[in-house]
Amino acid sequence: MAKTNPGRFFEDFQVGAELVHAVPRTITEGDQALYVALTGDRYPLHCSAEYARSLGYRRETVNDLLVFHVVFGKTVTDVSLNAVANLGYAGLRFLAPVYPGDTLRAVSKVVGKKENSNGETGIVWVRTTGVNQRGEMVLEYYRWVMVNKRDPNSAADPADAAKKSPKGEEVVPELPKEVRASELVVPEALSLKAYERWPSGGAAYFDDYEIGERIDHVDGMTIEESDHMLATRLYQNTAKVHFDAHAMKDSRFGKRLIYGGHVISLCRALSFNGLENTLGVLAFNGGQHVSPTFAGDTLYAWTEVLDKQRIGGRDDVGALRVRLVGVKNVAPTTDIPRMIEKDGKLRHHPSVVLDLDLWLAMPSV
């Protein structure tokens, strides 16, 4: 009997299979502090217990993206250990606050797979849920990942034949195109009765943002090799493309890729300058890792305001729908576009690395 787990290759995934991920994780104050050290995160709800209590929470909450990374990290061994790249997300909702001391675990269901035309890789879609020690769902999302085949010369897994469409095509799931405002979850604990303006240092609130405006976040952050390695270890994300420099020297890029989730965290941290009063991420409508990043790249970010909605029947907090765009090695103040026309088609500008559509909670006080 094999004692080690080589990870799943494309042939090993079956549509409909449930993957119960090992190693539940208790998130500690140390994890939260290390996350701040790796990303520069400054949102006060995650930094100050007193501020969090003034808003109705028990104490400071764990950063939404740290929750996401921990849940995501649980899935890597079963989903993306042999990945070429993580490609995108859809329908991601944060469902309940997480506090230091909470224990998270994850379960995924395979909802689709499709072999690529090169015959060497395929796309796998999964729906993942994260739950705490009380069995309460704290997070749910879809993601899709490009996975290597064990044998590039093999056909797709015949066990999935019954799952295919009448045309014999693989299963490509219909993912939610967005999270509707009515589906957003505002934590029941959140109260702005004792809200103070000074802790965030920001001057803009829900009513101050205008649909269509673009906010350049000014600051840049260079990714060091040590940063992304510590980050992936913190999240227990053991994907070879991030961990194994020896294996990656023969890859298309010849070196390790930065975990795309770390790029999201860095861009989110950069977005503090201009979105200081944000009370949390409510959802991802969708997102793409447009191109890879590597150690030594410098990230910048801008945000486009797409929509504004009142939520949960509340008049003290609203939801901003924004597009967070990350670029590498070129400051967004140069006014580079997100999309350009090339070969008669609209494509992302070559400097864009992240294109993420988010709902943010913003006070209206």
Do residues 347 and 206 share a domain?
A: yes
Q: Which domain holds residue 290?
A: 200-223+258-365
Kindly state whether residue 235 falls inside one of the protein's structural domains. no
Kindly state whether residue 325 falls inside one of the protein's structural domains. yes
Kindly state whether residue 216 falls inside one of the protein's structural domains. yes
Do residues 104 and 212 share a domain?
A: no
Do residues 17 and 127 share a domain?
A: yes
- pLDDT score of 60: 97
Interval 331-359: pLDDT, tens? 877 788 998 988 888 998 999 999 999 99
Kindly state whether residue 100 falls inside one of the protein's structural domains. yes
Interval 77-101: pLDDT, tens? 999 888 888 888 999 999 999 999 9
Question: Quick check: 286 and 322 in contact, CB under 8 A?
Answer: no
Do residues 111 and 214 share a domain?
A: no
Q: From 118, 153, 188, give the residue that closes a domain.
A: 153
Q: How many domains in the chain?
A: 2
State yes or no: pLDDT of 162 exceeds 50: no
Interval 313-328: pLDDT, tens? 889 999 999 999 999 9
State yes or no: pLDDT of 159 exceeds 70: no
- pLDDT score of 152: 77
- Banded pLDDT at 155 (limits 50, 70, 90): low
Do residues 205 and 70 share a domain?
A: no
Interval 239-285: pLDDT, tens? 888 889 998 998 888 999 999 999 999 999 999 999 999 999 999 99
The first and second tokens of residue 228, run together, are: 């992304």
In 10 A of CB 41, how many CB atoms?
20
Do residues 14 and 129 share a domain?
A: yes
- For 70-74, what is the mean pLDDT? 96
- pLDDT score of 157: 52
Whole-number Å distance between alpha carbons of 131 and 22: 13
Interval 9-26: pLDDT, tens? 999 999 999 999 999 999
Kindly state whether residue 127 falls inside one of the protein's structural domains. yes
Interval 209-246: pLDDT, tens? 999 999 999 999 999 999 989 999 999 988 888 889 99
Q: From 153, 176, 208, give the residue that closes a domain.
A: 153
Do residues 213 and 149 share a domain?
A: no
Interval 111-126: pLDDT, tens? 999 999 888 999 999 9
Whole-number Å distance between alpha carbons of 312 and 298: 39
- The CATH number that applies at residue 333 is 3.10.129.10
Do residues 145 and 67 share a domain?
A: yes
Mean pLDDT of the chain: 92
Do residues 210 and 107 share a domain?
A: no
Backbone angles phi, psi at 337, to 5 degrees: -80, 155
Do residues 281 and 204 share a domain?
A: yes
Do residues 132 and 270 share a domain?
A: no
- Non-local (6+) Cβ contacts of 138 within 8 A are 67, 71, 94, 95, 96, 97, 98, 102, 104, 130, 131, 132
Kindly state whether residue 234 falls inside one of the protein's structural domains. no
- Banded pLDDT at 163 (limits 50, 70, 90): very low
Kindly state whether residue 213 falls inside one of the protein's structural domains. yes
Do residues 148 and 206 share a domain?
A: no
Kindly state whether residue 187 falls inside one of the protein's structural domains. no
Q: What is the SS3 string spanning the chain? A: CCCCCCCCCHHHCCCCCEEECCCCEECCHHHHHHHHHHHCCCCHHHHCHHHHHHCCCCCCCCCHHHHHHHHHHHHHHHHCCCEEEEEEEEEEEECCCCCCCCEEEEEEEEEEEEECCCCCEEEEEEEEEEECCCCCEEEEEEEEEEEECCCCCCCCCHHHHHHCCCCCCCCCCCCCCCCCHHHCCCCCCCCCCCCCCCCCCCCCCHHHCCCCCEEECCCCEECCHHHHHHHHHHCCCCCHHHHCHHHHCCCCCCCCCCCHHHHHHHHHHHCCCCCCCCCEEEEEEEEEECCCCCCCCEEEEEEEEEEEEECCCCCCEEEEEEEEEEEECCCHHHCCCCEEEECCEEEECCCEEEEEEEEEEEECC
